Structure 1
Amino acid sequence: MSKRRLYWLVSILLIPGLIVLVVGGTLYWLAKRAEPSYSGAVALSGLAHPVEVRFGPHAVPTIEASNLRDLLFAQGYVTASERMWQMDLLRRLGGGRLAELFGPEVVKVDRFFRTVGLPVEARRALDTLDDAERALLDAYAAGVNAYREAARDRRPLEYRLTGLEPAPWQPEDSLVIGAYMAWTQSFNARGELTFLRLARRIGPERTRLLFPTDEGIAPPEVPPELVEYLAATPTAASSPDPGFDIAALAPILDYPARLGLPTPTAASNAWLATGKRTATGEALLADDPHLAFSMPGIWYELELIAPDLHAAGVSLPGVPLVLIGHNADLAWGFTSVIADTQDIFIERPTADGLAVERDGRAPEPIRLRHETIRVRGADPVEIAIRSTSRGVVLNDILGETTGTPMDLTDPGLTDLIVLRQNHDRPDRSFQAMRGLCRSGTLDEARAAGLDFRHVATNLMLAHRDGGIAWQMTGVLPQRGRGAGAFPNPGWIDDYAWQGEAPQSLNPSLANPPDGVIVTANQRTIPEDYPIRVSNAWMSPHRAQRITARLDESGPLTPESMAGIQADRISLQGRMMLSSLRRLESEIRALDPDAWAIAEDHLLDWDGAMDAASRPAAFAARLEPALFQALYGDELGEDLPFLLSMTLLAYSPLQETLRTGESAFWDDVTTPEIETPAAIWARALHAARTALAADGDDVRLDDIRSIRFTHAFDKVPLLGDLFSVGPIGVGGSSDTVDVIKTQPQEPGKGLFGASVRFVATPADWSRTRGTLTLGQSGHRFSPYRADQLQDWLAVHAHPWPWNGPDEAQTLGRLRLDPPDAGGRFGR
């Protein structure tokens, strides 16, 4: 071969590599150029006085200003410098404005959030602010916009790749993010729609048995008028469409996860101990709120210092102040209450479709609200949002009603499905956060928490004087005849909401005799409590396990509190073992091979969902097999809708494992009557078959993994570049160290601890915590995922208080008014 041919051959072979090198190098340069500076001076228009930002380990900032307005301006600037892309997506998701960025594909998502009214609620909340409060939101927005202007030529890499630009930040953007996060903590509408779906297949009374309220507590009765209504409606057996198209709704509800944003989930742990239970006589607080895995993580860690405010903890990017953390006097954390703050009403329209029926009086006209969705690369979409006195009509997002090209599949019913929410009064979450950050006593903090009107949470408080308290936030409806568990007949006025329950009835507790308070989404009130808080609590297993660990730990320390956060014992797994052993003789006699499978794979297990556990992997496969064997014959293709409810509520399978009783043991498709042993045998064989497909000697972390998804996750090549994972993990939906999965997808971890921390009010310097990934959203930043290994190992780092010391200071950044020197914009 001649030298010339050899030269061209080598060139041809090298060109692809050179292209990759050039493209990769360019991406790296653009991404690094967008990263913020952690030292130096920056002149920013909008500041009245200089602000100092000291960055400690993990690039956690301590922001110190001479007044609160400049402090929140700086918070907006610093947070945006790390999380602008995430903040932009969050406000657009909640505000129904994603189509402005991503085009026609997401119009259905925008239509959903416009219909449920999150932008309207944000504007109403904005109108409730007094001048001083509005000035603080304006300051935060000005800080975000100062970063937007300063970074005009060095946008985050996501904007470079998409050719997009962030719009100016508005004060209501912060409130719409808060409204969206409140919406993620409301779950009842999906449960009631699922009930309707299943009730049309197997009848409302039988379906009711699939919705237990809690251990040993049956659900409320189905409204008799609903029973009559459904009896007159075609069932799944006689109609190709068995009811509401929940499957059409699911992709909308799942879209936030595709963008790496929080999705509705019911999970979180928090527990408190008074000084009488701790080794040093101080109060302690442990908290780990659970959210979807995303890249970047949802929280941003920081410390804020001004003359009238000093707080540290984590903030929600796009929202000022500290949402979870502490001030000089007390610490606070949150868990989901699982309160029933939503109801579905069925409305019967008049023949002309302009009104809805009312028994005993004239029909009620349907109200209309018109909105325009701007769409990138296409014409705007006009939508009409209908509502009645019972709530907002959902049919226009569940089925083909508006006539726009983005309509979803027709659900098959002519009647209207209406959602009622606890939104009669505007929310005051910003006022609540400000009140918490400034509270000096437990009573002040509890009162501040009641301003979280639209979100029902367990506010957990620990004071430096050794006291603790729990306060349920939110506003509960005062219902008429309906209990709220199942849809109500909207045409009957007696079922309408009668206003709000007094917040003075919201459950609360301070300094209990036993010295501990535990909330982990379980039922926290007695059955005869004067108001109905919920109709479907989550499994009590995490709370029971936390309580047991607290009782066996002796005098509590911050280290023992943190150790409980790492606990992976599954009480559901142990119930599975107990239930199985109760049937040993029957299974042995009926199917010896099935019992041999149990002996080989499960019976020597202690219930620990450890990553390296082989029995835990089998248990993960056994749960969906039990659901299929027990309920699949009657629910058929609708079984996944029941399985999806396990993320949100105590399940009928859990109650069956606890008691051994079920009305669904018999397989209705066979002539014989199956016994519990027969169903267990089927499930054991099915689990063994599923496990065999995973390979020999499979461990739990071989089949269960998590992935921190970025908005580009589904984009070829870019998905793996920006997302993090998959990472094999242990844990399960009912372990304290939680990894929430759906039974039908036991390998896919959906939710987990979004932040863990243990607060030490007697000495804030000993407070420890960790994020899932890191502070930065920039792709090649060293602080993008530098906390991941600690999070996986359930380790933590000190949270700053009065800033990092000199030895740990990463850098000092001075933010100056324009006339104070500094480099303008960088």
Structure 2
Amino acid sequence: MPRSLRYLFLFLAGGGLIFFLLMLFGYRLVTRSLPTVAGVIHISGLDRPVSVYRDDTHIPHILAKTESDLFFAQGFVAAQNRFFQMDFNRRLAAGRLFELFGPASSKTDSLMQTVGIIRSVERLRSALDPETEFMFGAYTQGVNAFLNTHADRLPMEFKLMNDAPESWRIEDCLAVQALYVWLKDASWRMRPLLGAVAEKAGVAQARILFPGMNTDGLSPRTVKTIADTLIIKRLESVFGEGFIPPVPGDDLACVVRGRRMVSGYPVLATRPGFAPIQPALWYEVHLCGGGIDAAGFSLPGFPGILHGHNHRVAWTHVHRHGFSLSGWTVLPKTQYRILHAGDVRQAAGAVGKYPESSIRFLFADTSGNIWPTPQGSWDWSIISSERSGTYAERTLDRLLGQRERLSAQDLQTLSGNRFSAFAGDVREAIHRVFGAVSDRDSAAGAALRKLLSWDLSYRPGSSEAVLFAAFIENCFSELWGGLLGETLLTAYARLGDIPLRALDDALGDTVNSESVGTAWLEAVEKLRRRLGPDMDAWSWGAYRRLIFHHPIRFHPLLTRVYQLGPFVAGGSGETVEGPGHAWNRADRITACPSGRLIIDMATRLGVSVLPTGQGGQPLDPHYGDQIQRFLSIRFHPNLTDTSRILHSGWEHLTLISEDDHVKKRRNPRYPAI
């Protein structure tokens, strides 16, 4: 072989070897931060050994002897999977994202410092009762035990941003939960918008555009006190940074009496809403130890279970619009008592002390009781984020009433219902307004006939759903674009059912017939230009995609690594299934169920699904392993039988307290509390 070729061969071989070693090093660097799920970990702070079994979806089943060790282990395990998410949320609550993202978060930080969540947290911290202090203290010790044993194996996000997290505090638990409640509320988005609309379009028009909202105190004199278009523009700039979702996502939950169920026992079903984020909002967990045996959705960074059940009681809650920094304290103050509740009376008694809260609860127990008690002869209670009935509530109420007896499986099926009561309401108005369209425009006429034959279901393959959504988009622009302007219209179109009810009324008014007709013709033409002339080839799933966004998106390559999607999704914001969009921009999903959970008190078991998965890091095999199950409305069972868990063959991690002499040698970087 000529010397030059030999040198070239050696150079290429050496380069290939170096590249391979770099890839191997990078892979090792990333994967070493993944959670340890089997074997033994020695940590400080435990009284007795704790077993953690992870099932096929990686739900941790934590088996402890004492409640102190149980909450300690919950904090440790949550940090194993979701610590960057926990740290991100506490910094967001405090207005300290600049520590991670620099000037890219300046507007968000300014808003959060103005809101003052941390000031409220500090006041609550000094007033915690002993039970809550005990629970939060043990959880905090567990988080810091993780930080002490994994200081060199923290999630990759910290390495990417060259940052080291602070120790976890009880105040951080409270801040994470307060942030969640604040983000779930729409009133801080809605009230300045109401004032700005009244100032620009007049008080009478504001009342028309906000049906069902309390506008009794609204007058030309009082508008100035709440109207500030600059606030709306400032909020839009905050939303543009991408750290705070522009919509909270609507909650929907129901509880059905046992006499309506085939089993004779109540069933509770819930689908809390949120923005499509990654990692998932919730972390599923089973807690068993001391006097507690409960399972369900936990909030990473906050101890206990916010949606779930023990062996006697099931619970969930929804967030009504109307947040106050005093009302959010209901969750930390009642969590310990709900975990121990023996019946509906005890659970309802714990939350009944806080009537000022915007959070509303549903309970069911094994004795057949449900709360709140249905009115009249009804056998179920349905609640959502709106104070008056939403279109999704109306649909669910109708579906529940169609059957004499229901099963838990029926509730699973109903949770994926894609029927639009709103579309049904406006179809007659559409027919009346567009009766002459088909005579003068063949494309618009064919589209009209197609729409009028629609089954009103937002199936992923539906072309009619695309037509309807594009028409609604144009209606917003035609009817209110000139009146409100782009900024106010964009903010208004995100308000869930409120603008839909206003549009429903507007479509029934003959004064608007010309504008509505124009909206239809332009919608058909726009779709033909964008999707092609073959209407049968249009599909709702291709028109509107679902993307789960991660806070790390300051580089296109990292965005592709951390975010999940796009995915094809059915449903709409006014349907029971849920994934919603701004009504003037249907191609972007802005809210979706943050999880689905159904609890059957006959079996004392739940079935559930998260939008993405339990994992918190991209190379974790459970980072997005539930996506297809979520999109197809399938559930996984939640086993709580301890004897079956012990013999399950699942991955088994044992947490053992260090020996005393080891404890004395160590100088932990992160204090216990």
Give me the TM-score of the superposition, normalised by structure 1. 0.75
Change (3 A) 1:117 1:563: same
Distance apart, 1:680 and its partner CA: 2.4
8 Å contact kept, 1:300–1:314: yes
Once residues 135 and 769 of structure 1 are traced to their aligned partners in structure 2, the CA distance between those partners, rounded to angstroms, is: 29
8 Å contact kept, 1:262–1:298: no
Change (3 A) 1:29 1:452: farther
Once residues 163 and 117 of structure 2 are traced to their aligned partners in structure 1, the CA distance between those partners, rounded to angstroms, is: 24
8 Å contact kept, 1:774–1:788: yes
1:464 corresponds, among 366, 374, 380, to 366
8 Å contact kept, 1:467–1:511: no
1:516 aligns with 2:502: no
Once residues 461 and 329 of structure 1 are traced to their aligned partners in structure 2, the CA distance between those partners, rounded to angstroms, is: 10
The residue number in structure 2 matching 1:251 is 237
Once residues 425 and 187 of structure 1 are traced to their aligned partners in structure 2, the CA distance between those partners, rounded to angstroms, is: 14
Distance apart, 1:588 and its partner CA: 5.4
1:621 aligns with 2:436: no
**Aligned pair count?**
660
Greater share of residues in helix: 2
1:641 corresponds, among 470, 483, 488, to 488
Once residues 653 and 272 of structure 1 are traced to their aligned partners in structure 2, the CA distance between those partners, rounded to angstroms, is: 26
Distance apart, 1:575 and its partner CA: 2.4
Pick which of 793-802 and 675-684 moved more: 675-684
Amino acid of the structure 2 residue aligned with 1:782: P
The residue number in structure 2 matching 1:236 is none
1:787 corresponds, among 626, 631, 638, to 626
Once residues 384 and 346 of structure 2 are traced to their aligned partners in structure 1, the CA distance between those partners, rounded to angstroms, is: 24
Amino acid of the structure 2 residue aligned with 1:599: L
**Once the two structures are superposed, what CA deviation does each residue of 1:166-188 show, in whole Å capped at 9, x if it has no partner?**
21001100000111111123222
Distance apart, 1:81 and its partner CA: 0.5
Distance apart, 1:223 and its partner CA: 3.0
Change (3 A) 1:129 1:274: same
Secondary structure of the residue aligned to 2:589 is coil
Secondary structure of the residue aligned to 2:195 is helix
Q: How does 1:162-311 map to 2 (within 5 A)?
A: 162-213=161-212, 219-220=215-216, 222-226=218-222, 243-253=229-239, 255=241, 258-259=242-243, 264-311=247-294
The residue number in structure 1 matching 2:602 is 762
Give me the TM-score of the superposition, normalised by structure 2. 0.91
1:125 aligns with 2:124: yes
The residue number in structure 1 matching 2:544 is 704
Once residues 315 and 812 of structure 1 are traced to their aligned partners in structure 2, the CA distance between those partners, rounded to angstroms, is: 21
Change (3 A) 1:451 1:64: farther
The residue number in structure 1 matching 2:671 is none
1:553 aligns with 2:552: no
8 Å contact kept, 1:597–1:684: no
Amino acid of the structure 2 residue aligned with 1:431: K
Amino acid of the structure 1 residue aligned with 2:415: Q
Distance apart, 1:158 and its partner CA: 1.3
Secondary structure of the residue aligned to 1:34 is coil
1:322 corresponds, among 298, 305, 310, to 305
**Once the two structures are superposed, what CA deviation does each residue of 1:596-616 show, in whole Å capped at 9, x if it has no partner?**
153354122111101011111
8 Å contact kept, 1:122–1:176: yes
Distance apart, 1:452 and its partner CA: 5.9
Change (3 A) 1:656 1:81: closer
Amino acid of the structure 1 residue aligned with 2:468: A
The residue number in structure 2 matching 1:419 is none
8 Å contact kept, 1:85–1:158: yes
The residue number in structure 2 matching 1:96 is 95
8 Å contact kept, 1:292–1:751: yes
Q: How does 1:70-149 map to 2 (within 5 A)?
A: 70-149=69-148
1:654 corresponds, among 501, 518, 538, to 501
2:590 corresponds, among 729, 747, 750, to 750
8 Å contact kept, 2:297–2:307: yes
1:677 aligns with 2:513: yes
Secondary structure of the residue aligned to 1:684 is helix
Once residues 744 and 805 of structure 1 are traced to their aligned partners in structure 2, the CA distance between those partners, rounded to angstroms, is: 49
Amino acid of the structure 1 residue aligned with 2:522: A
> Structure 1: which 5+ residue stretches go unaligned?
234-241, 342-421, 471-508, 524-536, 666-674
**Once the two structures are superposed, what CA deviation does each residue of 1:104-156 show, in whole Å capped at 9, x if it has no partner?**
33233222112111001111111111344323212111110110111112121
The residue number in structure 1 matching 2:350 is 448
Amino acid of the structure 1 residue aligned with 2:176: I
Distance apart, 1:541 and its partner CA: 0.8
8 Å contact kept, 1:68–1:307: yes
Distance apart, 1:227 and its partner CA: 5.6
1:438 aligns with 2:379: no
Once residues 318 and 748 of structure 1 are traced to their aligned partners in structure 2, the CA distance between those partners, rounded to angstroms, is: 30
Secondary structure of the residue aligned to 1:683 is helix
Once residues 109 and 556 of structure 2 are traced to their aligned partners in structure 1, the CA distance between those partners, rounded to angstroms, is: 25
Amino acid of the structure 1 residue aligned with 2:236: A
Secondary structure of the residue aligned to 1:717 is helix
**Once the two structures are superposed, what CA deviation does each residue of 1:261-288 show, in whole Å capped at 9, x if it has no partner?**
7665140111111111001111001111
Change (3 A) 1:653 1:76: closer
Distance apart, 1:692 and its partner CA: 2.1
Distance apart, 1:554 and its partner CA: 3.2
2:613 corresponds, among 774, 779, 783, to 774
Change (3 A) 1:428 1:570: closer
8 Å contact kept, 2:245–2:275: yes
8 Å contact kept, 1:271–1:516: yes
Once residues 657 and 590 of structure 2 are traced to their aligned partners in structure 1, the CA distance between those partners, rounded to angstroms, is: 44
8 Å contact kept, 2:573–2:580: yes
Change (3 A) 1:707 1:23: farther
RMSD (Å), alpha carbons: 3.0
The residue number in structure 2 matching 1:413 is none
**Once the two structures are superposed, what CA deviation does each residue of 1:242-297 show, in whole Å capped at 9, x if it has no partner?**
94252222232454xx35x7665140111111111001111001111011111110
Distance apart, 1:6 and its partner CA: 9.3
Change (3 A) 1:227 1:811: closer
8 Å contact kept, 1:266–1:336: no
8 Å contact kept, 2:493–2:584: no
Amino acid of the structure 2 residue aligned with 1:164: D
**Once the two structures are superposed, what CA deviation does each residue of 1:457-483 show, in whole Å capped at 9, x if it has no partner?**
23111111122112xxxxxxxxxxxxx
Distance apart, 1:324 and its partner CA: 0.7
Secondary structure of the residue aligned to 1:272 is strand
Q: How does 1:421-436 map to 2 (within 5 A)?
A: 422-423=324-325, 427-436=329-338
Once residues 118 and 164 of structure 1 are traced to their aligned partners in structure 2, the CA distance between those partners, rounded to angstroms, is: 24
Pick which of 752-761 and 328-337 moved more: 328-337
Amino acid of the structure 1 residue aligned with 2:426: M
8 Å contact kept, 1:574–1:606: no
Change (3 A) 1:156 1:98: same
Secondary structure of the residue aligned to 1:726 is strand
Distance apart, 1:770 and its partner CA: 0.9
The residue number in structure 2 matching 1:568 is 418
Distance apart, 1:652 and its partner CA: 4.5
Amino acid of the structure 2 residue aligned with 1:648: L
The residue number in structure 2 matching 1:541 is 391
Once residues 87 and 355 of structure 2 are traced to their aligned partners in structure 1, the CA distance between those partners, rounded to angstroms, is: 25
Amino acid of the structure 2 residue aligned with 1:694: R
Amino acid of the structure 1 residue aligned with 2:234: A
8 Å contact kept, 1:712–1:718: yes
Distance apart, 1:660 and its partner CA: 4.0
Change (3 A) 1:584 1:691: closer
Amino acid of the structure 1 residue aligned with 2:267: L
8 Å contact kept, 1:602–1:615: yes
Amino acid of the structure 1 residue aligned with 2:653: L
Change (3 A) 1:291 1:95: same
